Amino acid sequence: MVYGQTLHSQGAEGGFINLNVGGFKQRVDHSTLLRFPQTRLGRLLSCHSEEAILELCDDYSVADKEYYFDRNPHFFRYVLNFYYTGKIHLMEELCVFSFSQEIEYWGIKDLYLDSCCSNKYQEQKEYADEKDWDRKSDEQQQQSFDSSFEELSVIDRDVEKFEGAWCSEIRKNIWLRLENPGYSRSAKMIAIASLAVVITSIVAMCIHSMPEFQQVDANEKEIEDPVLAVFEIICVLCFSLEFLVRLLVTPCLRKFLGNPLNIIDFVSIVPFYATLAFETVDEESDENEDLENVGKVVQILRLMRIFRILKLARHSVGLRSLGATLRHSYHEVGLLLLFLSVGISIFSVLIYFVEKEEEESELQNIPVGWWWATISMTTVGYGDTYPVTLGGKLIGALCIICGLLVVALPITIIFNKFSKYYQRQKAMDVYQGNNDMKGPDASLPYFNVRDMYGQKMRTFMASLSSQGSVSSGEDDTDASSIQDMETLCNTDRLASREPK
């Protein structure tokens, strides 16, 4: 038996089809559905096998010649109206996601939305996409190992991994102090010390580039200043010690090795040891011609010390937010680079053809035009290269205007994402700081003794005003109660200042 022939006995262009959508029954002419053959119901008419029919509907009855769909019966009225009018309208009872799923199921494109609903649909979809982006970004922060945000839930899960491990309590305490600067006073001191070492290393590297601190040996070979070399060794030893301690106390080695901040820590100390190894080999093999370029390699490795500035990301909310923004905005960044590349290519060729006949102009070839177009479109304008002809100046003005428009569009989107990441990270830090104030034993109920003292004082003053006068004995009693509360507050304040 051929199912298509049984159900469509009068041919594809004649007869009727019986539809049952969630209990709502409707008899529709074949010609109505064939107006849109790419939709689900339109494709259903061309099915000639049981498997093909069941791919498009939930069930069907050969005897009743009826197709069953387990979908929203109210929305199906809008679908029928689409087949009659060629336009689909929004259904107020459905959210934008449900509406999108319904029209996708029936094979109706959103291009068929009527003009009265199209703008509203796009606005709701953009708003829903923005909320969905926030939700997905939160999930990525919680699940991604290389996330720039150090989620509180991730730290809690890391703490649970210490259970049953060797030296669990010691490793856990060290880990919390290294990963959470707000955990205790000692954790803050460790973070401040680490930040000071990073800044010292960067300052020493910058000072080394000054001619006053550059020295050469008897072989005309550049050597480091002894004082700066001592600072360099101390800083590298501190970095190495911190990295090794983090490696030893980490609850998850795989996560530790995949963390971008830990990779930065490793990259910041590798150049020092690599330089030391190359210099040792160079001293032992002076006559080997294969190692004559070792000095250049050493210079390159020394320049790699600039990566230590990235260690500031561990202590900076803004840098972590910037890194996360760039990672989640690669579409916008790629779009920005594409716009700039197209504009630079066009304006560099135009300025070359306009300026090539002028001897005073420096824009005598297209590569120089690339440089000029780059600094013009990015509105930097060094002034070292500029057009001298009237046509060149007009092209320059157009290049600057296009640069403003091209750069402004993607930058706005990137800035909005950065603001969201920064606000979320600041809120997390505040929440984490509030949790740290509750003390090491989170199972105990937390209350603010100072607030309780203030409430007692307000109650006491209210009782004074209501009674009009208070006996001396009551004054002594209330005064002693107030002193007891002050003592309790002072005790709580001293306890909170003790290192954990």
Please tell me whether residues 285 and 348 are part of one structural domain: no
Task: Identify the residue with better confidence: 482 or 237.
Answer: 237
* Distance between CA atoms of residues 407 and 335, nearest Å: 10
Question: How many domains does the chain fold into?
Answer: 4
pLDDT classification of 345: cutoffs 50, 70, 90: very high
Please tell me whether residues 178 and 264 are part of one structural domain: yes
**Residue holding tokens 């300026």?**
355
* Distance between CA atoms of residues 319 and 17, nearest Å: 63
Residue 320 lies in a domain: no
Of 288, 329, 321, 285, nearest to 427 by C-alpha is 321
Residue 167 lies in a domain: yes
Residue 77 lies in a domain: yes
Three-class SS of residue 25? strand
Please tell me whether residues 191 and 248 are part of one structural domain: yes
Please tell me whether residues 453 and 433 are part of one structural domain: no
Please tell me whether residues 251 and 273 are part of one structural domain: yes
Q: Which of 262, 291, 315 is the last residue of a domain?
A: 315
Would the CA dihedral through 199, 205, 207, 209 be positive or negative?
negative
* Cβ neighbours around 169 below 10 Å, total: 9
pLDDT digits (tens, 9 = 90+) for 300-341: 666 666 666 766 666 666 777 777 777 777 788 888 888 899
Q: Which amino acid is at 438?
A: K
Strand spans (E) along 22-132: 24-29, 59-61, 66-69
pLDDT > 70 in the chain, percent? 65
Output the domain CATH number for residue 164.
1.20.120.350
Q: What long-range pairs does 53-57 form, CB within 8 A, spacing at least 24?
A: 53/3, 53/7
Predicted local distance difference test score (pLDDT) of residue 141: 47
Please tell me whether residues 36 and 73 are part of one structural domain: yes
Q: Are 249 and 158 in contact (CB under 8 A)?
A: no
Of 115, 111, 102, 107, nearest to 74 by C-alpha is 102
Q: How far apart are the first and last CA of the chain?
A: 81
Please tell me whether residues 401 and 422 are part of one structural domain: yes
- Pairing between strand 66-69 and 16-21? parallel
Mean pLDDT of the chain: 74
Q: Which of 414, 437, 460 is the last residue of a domain?
A: 437
Predicted local distance difference test score (pLDDT) of residue 6: 40
Output the domain CATH number for residue 373.
1.10.287.70
Whole-model pTM: value is: 0.45
Please tell me whether residues 403 and 488 are part of one structural domain: no
Please tell me whether residues 243 and 284 are part of one structural domain: yes
Please tell me whether residues 420 and 459 are part of one structural domain: no
Domain that holds residue 105: 3-125
* Distance between CA atoms of residues 418 and 430, nearest Å: 18
Residue 146 lies in a domain: no
Please tell me whether residues 471 and 398 are part of one structural domain: no
Residue 413 lies in a domain: yes
Q: Is the pLDDT of residue 348 over 60?
A: yes
- What does residue 15 show for φ and ψ, rounded to 5 degrees? 95, -175
pLDDT classification of 432: cutoffs 50, 70, 90: low
pLDDT classification of 450: cutoffs 50, 70, 90: very low
Q: Is the pLDDT of residue 227 over 90?
A: no
Strand partners, 16: 29
Query: Taking residues 50-74, what's their average pLDDT?
Result: 87
Please tell me whether residues 33 and 107 are part of one structural domain: yes
